A and B are shown apart, each in its own frame.
Chain A
Amino acid sequence: DTGVSQDPRHKITKRGQNVTFRCDPISEHNRLYWYRQTLGQGPEFLTYFQNEAQLEKSRLLSDRFSAERPKGSFSTLEIQRTEQGDSAMYLCASSLPGTGLSEAFFGQGTRLTVV
């Protein structure tokens, strides 16, 4: 396993278009997270899955954002009707269950630019 992978690495889209990103976590990790990061800021929590169940979604996340993890493996994050404010790096991370040392491993991210 080579770690968490995300696709695409870069996406440029016109305002109003829909975009979808994919994340493949480390295979034995049942927890999967989506974060958004803008320049000079730390990652901001968006949503979290345990297996296929989406357990929490940030209150900051508008209804234009939706995430799925249909078989408890890969996940997709869709943004509908993109806005310029959606431009950011979207990071996916996965971790093992438990509250001990189960750090989050991050993918390389998808950089979204909305023009």
Chain B
Amino acid sequence: GQNIDQPTEMTATEGAIVQINCTYQTSGFNGLFWYQQHAGEAPTFLSYNVLDGLEEKGRFSSFLSRSKGYSYLLLKELQMKDSASYLCAVRNFNKFYFGSGTKLNVKP
């Protein structure tokens, strides 16, 4: 089976940095993806890791350790519009498996 775990909810302050963790145990691995989903909207792609290490993309960075089955999404200089759910997804060959998502609340 596929098991992807994320914290359910986090709260952070505008302007701060927040790290959202994801651990996974899957039968195969072809990359780890992070998506952002605002309430009532479709998930939108944020970042992708297939090799170990850090990928930086503006205010967002994502890290992967395949040996530990671990990833995190780092959000810097938080803005109120970053309040959303963040989904960790593992691609196993041609399918994407999602965690339950982490709801991030950004407070002024």
**Beta-carbon contact of B98 and A101 below 8 Å:** no
**CB within 8 Å of A: which of B73-108?**
87, 89, 91, 93-101, 103
**Beta-carbon contact of A42 and B100 below 8 Å:** yes
Q: Across the interface, which residues of A come within 8 angstroms of B43, CB to CB?
A: 43, 91, 106
- CB of A22 within 8 Å of the partner chain: no
Q: How many Å from the CB of A46 to the closest CB on chain B? A: 10
Kindly report which residue of chain A lies nearest to residue B2, judged by CB atoms.
A45
Kindly report which residue of chain A lies nearest to residue B101, judged by CB atoms.
A42
**Beta-carbon contact of B45 and A55 below 8 Å:** no
Kindly report which residue of chain A lies nearest to residue B33, judged by CB atoms.
A103
Q: Across the interface, which residues of A come within 8 angstroms of B41, CB to CB?
A: 108
Per the bound structure, the CA–CA distance linking A41 and B50 in Å amounts to 24
Per the bound structure, the CA–CA distance linking A108 and B39 in Å amounts to 11
Interface bin, chain A: 20 to 34
**Beta-carbon contact of A42 and B44 below 8 Å:** no
Per the bound structure, the CA–CA distance linking A45 and B95 in Å amounts to 8
Proximity string of chain B (13-47) to chain A, C-beta cutoff 8 Å, 1 when within and 0 when not? 00000000000000000110101000001111100
Q: How many Å from the CB of A29 to the closest CB on chain B? A: 12
Per the bound structure, the CA–CA distance linking A10 and B95 in Å amounts to 26
**Beta-carbon contact of B98 and A99 below 8 Å:** no
Per the bound structure, the CA–CA distance linking A7 and B43 in Å amounts to 17
- CB of A25 within 8 Å of the partner chain: no
Q: Which of B94, B100, B101 contacts A50 (CB 8 A)?
A: B94
**Beta-carbon contact of B99 and A48 below 8 Å:** no
Q: Which 10 A-B pairs have the closest CB atoms?
A: A42-B98, A106-B42, A99-B30, A103-B45, A43-B98, A42-B100, A42-B101, A106-B43, A108-B42, A101-B48
15 contacts between A and B (CB under 8 A): A33-B95, A40-B8, A41-B100, A42-B101, A45-B96, A50-B94, A56-B94, A56-B95, A93-B96, A99-B30, A99-B93, A101-B50, A103-B48, A104-B33, A104-B96
Give A contacts to B, CB under 8 Å.
4, 31, 33, 35, 40-45, 48, 50, 55-56, 91, 93, 99-101, 103-109
Starting from the known contacts A42-B87, A100-B31, A107-B42, 17 additional A-B residue pairs (CB-CB under 8 Å) come to A40-B100, A41-B101, A42-B89, A42-B100, A42-B101, A43-B43, A43-B98, A44-B98, A45-B96, A50-B94, A56-B95, A91-B43, A93-B96, A106-B35, A106-B42, A108-B42, A109-B42
